[in-house]
A = this chain, B = another copy of it.
């Protein structure tokens, strides 16, 4: 697509800021759409994705060809690839969002003050949201429609690998939506894919109210260090299971295996197992066998080595800080629940951590003292997910504590406004 080689930094700046200005105007118009109008727009977007499927797949083919030329791995190519069924799933996803409840307009609080002033706290859209993402083209559609349903305009900036696909999807969404009254420029794609365009977006706090980077640590770090506006970060998931001394060990074994192996490449998969010393000798041998059956490599502390011998290699300090996203599990024996909590708060990524125990008091301490978005008692970490939480969709899992924490869906894409009604009240009584 368009290269930036022939454009001066000033020209790139100007073009991106112009997009920002248009997005701001779109956001002002979006405030006046009610749920029915937005849902009609979303259904029209889905229809347009379907009716343009041949064109979108042709654009996707260009990306795939370029990707093969650039030596992308087969895993990367697979993430990039669209086909009829993936495109149908994308359109279906848009329709699902149309069926979700609209959070905009929700009354969060209402009171009447002694002086007669009536104060309403009402949920409103955030405004303009920037999404900066890497290769998967379905993010374009997922992110844009969640933002739209919550009343926001979006400026999307995807990776160069998917630029043709992203453009085709973005144009389909905007054009389809316009047939049902979507304001112009509600969904825009930045035509540049170099780092300079990220820098411009990050400096545009006048037009962008929030940036959500979706991608690896290096992308997020770049955005965080450049951004003048709030950034909601979805960092690693270094998730823990702690098997307490009061645990049902059969349950502990099943939860560990499920959390680690059911889908190892995702952020809510287990990375480090902590075992109370009182149950380590009983739990670990059988658990190691179950994990070996699923080809999980084990890395343990000295005490784990003492119990499992050659079935485990020694864990280094780095292991406790690593999100493997792979069939590797680090294991540490701890002397107490307090020690487990300390380990998690120090080495974890504040995403999702689970205690397995039958001791309710111990569970409650863990749930409260572990400083993570999601603290679990007796269930697989894999349930940490917007869909499983009943949100009907998810834009990511925030590891931040400000504004949105944990699974993030429509509510988390809104702000609020105080609407205050009086009858001429003054601070000073007149004359």
Contacts and interface: CB of A to CB of B under 8 A. Distances in A.
Given A380-B427, A388-B113, A371 B255 contact: no
A158 interface: no
Contacts of A422: 376-380, 383
A205 B31 CA distance: 34
A277 interface: no
Nearest to A250: B424
A170 interface: no
Contact of A373 (B376, B400, B418, B423): B418
Interface string A383-406: 110001110000000001111011
Q: How large is the interface on A (under 10, 10 to 19, 20 to 34, 35 or more residues)?
A: 35 or more
The secondary-structure label for the interface of chain A is: mixed
Given A374-B420, A388-B113, A262 B228 contact: no
A402 B126 contact: yes
B28 A345 contact: yes
A61 interface: no
Contact of A420 (B113, B228, B232, B375): B375
Contacts of A380: 422, 425-427
Contacts of A248: 424
Contacts of A28: 345, 369, 371
Nearest to A402: B230
A28 B117 CA distance: 40
Contacts of A378: 421-425
A258 interface: yes
A301 interface: no
A428 interface: yes
A76 interface: no
30 contacts: A28-B369, A32-B369, A113-B388, A113-B389, A119-B389, A127-B371, A209-B401, A209-B402, A230-B230, A251-B424, A258-B426, A263-B427, A363-B421, A368-B419, A372-B417, A374-B419, A378-B421, A378-B423, A379-B420, A379-B423, A379-B425, A380-B422, A382-B426, A383-B420, A383-B427, A402-B402, A405-B415, A405-B416, A405-B417, A407-B418
A262 B402 contact: no
A327 interface: no
B430 A254 contact: yes
A251 B389 CA distance: 50
Copies in the complex: 2
Contacts of A113: 388-390
Best-buried of A31, A367, A369 by chain B (most CB within 10 Å) = A367
A87 interface: no
Given A111-B390, A225-B228, A373 B31 contact: no
Contacts of A312: none
Given A113-B389, A126-B402, 4 more contacts: A258-B428, A377-B420, A380-B425, A384-B420
A427 B389 contact: no
B32 A368 contact: yes
Contacts of A371: 28, 31, 127
A210 interface: yes
Best-buried of A248, A403, A407 by chain B (most CB within 10 Å) = A403
A99 to B, nearest CB: 17
Best-buried of A31, A232, A430 by chain B (most CB within 10 Å) = A430
B31 A210 contact: no
A40 interface: no
A262 B429 CA distance: 10
Interface string A88-120: 000000000000000000000001010001010
A379 B262 contact: no
A303 interface: no
A320 to B, nearest CB: 16
A113 B232 CA distance: 27
A351 to B, nearest CB: 11
Contacts of A430: 254, 257-258
Contacts of A311: none
A190 interface: no
